[in-house]
Amino acid sequence: RRHTRFKCDWSSDVCSSDLEDAERAIGRQLRLIARNIPDVVYEFRLGPDGEFSFPFMSDRIADLYGVSAESVRRDYRLVFDPVLPEYRTPLLKSMLHSRRKGGSWSFEAPIVTARGEHKWVHGQSAVSTAGDGATLWDGVLSDITARKGAELEIQRLNEGLELRVQE
């Protein structure tokens, strides 16, 4: 049986447990590691009560979406609302499907950032169930704007070639 010790700073009336200190240290370590990854690292949570949240969001979200990680942790909609409207329902359906089947999730969608920039984002994650019954998506968001631009250019060139061949 494990015992939790509490530490108190009586001069400031602040108390914490070893477990809370360990969780804070792990969170700090994860943020430091995530800072060196060019993609956005996140954990998205669907609670048993139906509540959505981002318990973890790396600071790289500012580069991709133009919003701070702290603001996303307070309001998950800052990640979903920029998705173009015609992609929102397929996005939600893909997440619910991954929740039912487990394993992994992957989706691509265009967004309009807080700065008004048009970008393409690819999200991928591992899906799991937490002890309290919540569904967790632990993954990354990547900026695939350049790749999508190249794909569209190739498609345009192919269509042009097909027209010339038909002439």
Radius of gyration in angstroms for the set of CA atoms belonging to the chain, rounded to a whole number? 21
Contact 102, 141 (CB under 8 A): no
| Per-residue pLDDT at 38 | 75
pLDDT of res. 163: 84
Query: What are the 10-residue block averages of pLDDT along the chain, 167 residues in total?
Result: 49 56 65 71 95 94 96 96 97 94 94 97 96 95 94 89 85
Whole-structure pTM over 0.85, yes or no?
no
Burial readout 64-85 (b: 16 or more C-beta within 10 A, e: otherwise): bbbbebeebbeebebbbebbee
* Per-residue pLDDT at 36: 64
Q: Enter the DSSP assignment of 98.
A: H
- Helix (H/G/I), strand (E/B), else coil: 61: helix
- 3-state SS class at 116: coil
Q: Report the pLDDT value the prediction gives residue 103, as an integer from 0 to 100.
A: 86
Sort strands 103-112 and 118-129 into parallel, antiparallel or unpaired. antiparallel
